[in-house]
Amino acid sequence: MSTRRSYVKTGLLAGGASLLGRLGFARPQHSPEQHGSPPAPAPPATPGPSSKAPALLRKRGRLPYTPVVTPNGSTLPWVMRSGVKEFHLVAEPVKREFAPGMLVNAWGYNGQTPGPTIEAVEGDRVRILVTNKLAEHTSIHWHGIFLPAGMDGVGGLNQPQIKPGETYAYEFTLRQHGTHMYHPHADEMVQMAMGMMGFLVIHPKDPERHVDRDFCIFTHMWFVEPGTMTPNTAVMLDFNIFTFNSRAFPGIDPLVCRKGDRVRIRLANVSMTDHPIHIHGHRFWVVETDGGQIPESGWWPETTLNIMPGTTRAVEFVADYPGDWALHCHKNHHVMNAMGHDIPNVIGVDQNEVAKKIAALVPGYMAMGSSGMAEHAEHSKHMAGLPNTLPMMTGTGPFGPIEMGGMFTVVKIREELETYDGDPGWYDYPKGTVAYKVDGPPGEPRKKQQEHHGHEPS
Ligand SMILES: [Cu+2]
């Protein structure tokens, strides 16, 4: 875990710093002084974590909103020029590490896929410069935004395509607030499949409520032939890598929350199919689509929300229950990493005899799958022969293999939390609150953790 996190941070810092330098932007991203934003109004009256956790308050600074967190990603810096917030996106090929052990030749913005999250406030005048460093033309569409037709970004329809080496400016006033996205409307089949997409979040001018945590997750899927590193964009349905913010579990940062936090998760999808996103231990309220806010009387509760292609959704919930809670796509293949689809179905087949014969020819051969595919998690190195290929299921938790990859992460809710930065580690289960074994084959060793956490019902 620490290895992965330090790698990610180093990568982000290295990539981000050189890029920001190139664009002439300075860190930090959230300081209003640096960016010359208008004076921030007083913080919302809703009691937040501030009274108990000064460190958390400092993080929010004087911004009139809780900054969006893009796990494994970043927020795009801006500069104020004559009253206009100016952003700069650079469309370019990017190398994206999906998880340790797998690097992908993707396309994106500013060295990242998804591109950095653009954050602004309703009423802002924004100018977004787009420089094309791809080898082919592109354009950017601002999905769900009310703007002049000539700024809508459909290549050929609203503007000429942006040729390689050219920079275009999009400029409009934000007349709404909500969860939106940006993506190309050029070479449709290829550019989004290669990872070109990003969030455009517009905060309300007069927030009706305060959230403590505001996350955004871009769902996506890819086909990267095992052993290779460039997505095949001609694939229509048979994708084999499924990502949150272009990372696959166990390469996805957890969503860290304090007990009692009001949490918003914004989800988006420009892939070829829908992703039913499921949360454990809580139910969330559906508060927003890319069409705008749903009045509170119209919110509805879900534990699984389908994110259809070409949509955004925002959900909110109060982090009531401490623990480690799974958040994942509920399509079973979408919580798996690269796998060949031409594998024979051997569930229920006795392979003992054939395994003996093959082992005579192939030393170390192991027949798997007769009782199900869980064995793959234990022997997750079965793809180790292929370079740049993640095992199907690789995550390991405190009790053993998690048996998932792909679109899976963990919402980590803690009673005590000094900082939202970093990973607080696995949940320390109170004694007597973990499922326990009451019967089984004699002599089978118990898992260490189960003994540690005890069995007595409270
Ligand atoms: Cu999915």
CA of 430 to the centre of ligand 1 (A): 33
Mean pLDDT of the chain: 82
pLDDT at 387: 84
Residue range 436-455, pLDDT digits in tens: 999 988 766 555 544 445 44
Confidence of residue 180 (pLDDT cuts 50, 70, 90): very high
CA of 178 to the centre of ligand 1 (A): 23
Predicted confidence (pLDDT) at residue 20 exceeds the cutoff of 50: no
pLDDT at 194: 97
CA of 405 to the centre of ligand 1 (A): 12
CA of 407 to the centre of ligand 1 (A): 7
User: Is the sign of the CA dihedral 65, 66, 69, 74 positive or negative?
Assistant: positive
Evaluate whether residue 328 is within a structural domain: yes
CATH of the domain at 161: 2.60.40.420
Evaluate whether residue 205 is within a structural domain: yes
Together in a domain, 303 and 444: no
Domain that holds residue 318: 2-332
Q: How far apart are CA 403 and CA 397, in angstroms?
A: 10
CA of 128 to the centre of ligand 1 (A): 31
Together in a domain, 50 and 187: yes
Predicted confidence (pLDDT) at residue 39 exceeds the cutoff of 70: no
Predicted confidence (pLDDT) at residue 137 exceeds the cutoff of 50: yes
Together in a domain, 456 and 323: no
Evaluate whether residue 358 is within a structural domain: no
Q: How far apart are CA 10 and CA 100, in angstroms?
A: 13
Predicted confidence (pLDDT) at residue 45 exceeds the cutoff of 50: no
Residue range 60-81, pLDDT digits in tens: 456 789 999 999 999 999 999 9
Question: Which tokens is 142 given?
Answer: 């601002």
Evaluate whether residue 342 is within a structural domain: no
The mean pLDDT value for 404-408 works out to 92
CA of 308 to the centre of ligand 1 (A): 10
Backbone torsions φ then ψ of 16, nearest 5 degrees: -65, -45
Together in a domain, 324 and 438: no
Predicted confidence (pLDDT) at residue 318 exceeds the cutoff of 90: yes
The domain total for the chain is 2
pLDDT at 386: 79
The residue out of 332, 347, 365 marking a domain boundary is 332
More confident residue, 213 or 2: 213
More confident residue, 238 or 217: 217
Q: How far apart are CA 410 and CA 252, in angstroms?
A: 9
CA of 277 to the centre of ligand 1 (A): 7
Predicted confidence (pLDDT) at residue 50 exceeds the cutoff of 80: no
Together in a domain, 323 and 435: no
- Percent pLDDT > 90 in the chain is 64
Predicted confidence (pLDDT) at residue 58 exceeds the cutoff of 90: no
CA of 404 to the centre of ligand 1 (A): 13
pLDDT at 395: 79
Together in a domain, 309 and 452: no
Evaluate whether residue 81 is within a structural domain: yes
Q: How far apart are CA 5 and CA 8, in angstroms?
A: 5
Together in a domain, 458 and 319: no
CA of 240 to the centre of ligand 1 (A): 11
CA of 241 to the centre of ligand 1 (A): 10
Predicted confidence (pLDDT) at residue 322 exceeds the cutoff of 70: yes
Q: Which residue has the tokens 């991203």?
A: 29
Predicted confidence (pLDDT) at residue 369 exceeds the cutoff of 80: no
- The answer to whether 71 touches 94, Cβ cutoff 8 Å, is no
Q: How far apart are CA 364 and CA 255, in angstroms?
A: 40
Together in a domain, 309 and 448: no
Backbone torsions φ then ψ of 334, nearest 5 degrees: -85, -5
Residue range 141-155, pLDDT digits in tens: 999 999 999 999 999
55-77 burial code (b ≥16 CB/10 A, e <16): ebeeebeebbbbbbbbbbbbbbb
Q: Count CB atoms within 10 A of the CB of residue 414.
A: 19
CA 308 to chain centre: 16
Q: Does pTM top 0.85 for this prediction?
A: no
The three-state DSSP-derived secondary structure of the chain is CHHHHHHHHHHHHHHHHHHHHHHCCCCCCCCHHHHCCCCCCCCCCCCCHHHCCHHHHHHHCCCCCCCCECCCCCECCCEEECCEEEEEEEEEEEEEEEECCEEEEEEEECCECCCCEEEEECCCEEEEEEEECCCCCECCEEECCCCCHHHCCCECCCECCECCCCEEEEEEECCCCEEEEEECCCCHHHHCCCCCCEEEEEECCCCCCCCCEEEEEEEEEECCCCCCCCCCCCCCCCCCEEEECCECECCCCCEEEECCCEEEEEEEECCCCCEEEEECCCCEEEEEECCEECCHHHCEEECEEEECCCEEEEEEEECCCCEEEEEEECCHHHHCCCCCCCCCCCCCCCCHHHHHHHHHHCCCCCCCCCCCCCHHHHCHHHHCCCCCCCCCCCCEECCEECCCCECEEEEEEECCCCCCCCCCCCCCCCCCCCCCCCCCCCCCCCCHHHHHHCCCCC
Confidence of residue 238 (pLDDT cuts 50, 70, 90): confident
Together in a domain, 31 and 170: yes
Confidence of residue 92 (pLDDT cuts 50, 70, 90): very high
For β-strands 262-269 and 213-222, DSSP reports them as parallel
Evaluate whether residue 391 is within a structural domain: no
Together in a domain, 318 and 438: no
CA of 224 to the centre of ligand 1 (A): 16
Together in a domain, 197 and 326: yes
Query: Which of 202-211, 347-356, 360-369, 446-455 tops mean pLDDT?
Result: 202-211
The residue out of 280, 313, 332 marking a domain boundary is 332
Backbone torsions φ then ψ of 348, nearest 5 degrees: 90, 0
Residue range 254-300, pLDDT digits in tens: 999 999 999 999 999 999 999 999 999 999 999 999 999 999 999 99
CA of 354 to the centre of ligand 1 (A): 35
Together in a domain, 300 and 166: yes
Question: Which tokens is 388 given?
Answer: 């740049």
- The answer to whether 182 touches 145, Cβ cutoff 8 Å, is no
Least confident of 29-33, 207-211, 303-307: 29-33
CA of 270 to the centre of ligand 1 (A): 12
Question: Which tokens is 67 given?
Answer: 């900054």
Predicted confidence (pLDDT) at residue 4 exceeds the cutoff of 90: no
The residue out of 332, 353, 388 marking a domain boundary is 332
Predicted confidence (pLDDT) at residue 252 exceeds the cutoff of 90: yes
pLDDT at 34: 35
pLDDT at 157: 97
For residue 293, give the amino acid letter. Q
Evaluate whether residue 350 is within a structural domain: no
Evaluate whether residue 388 is within a structural domain: no
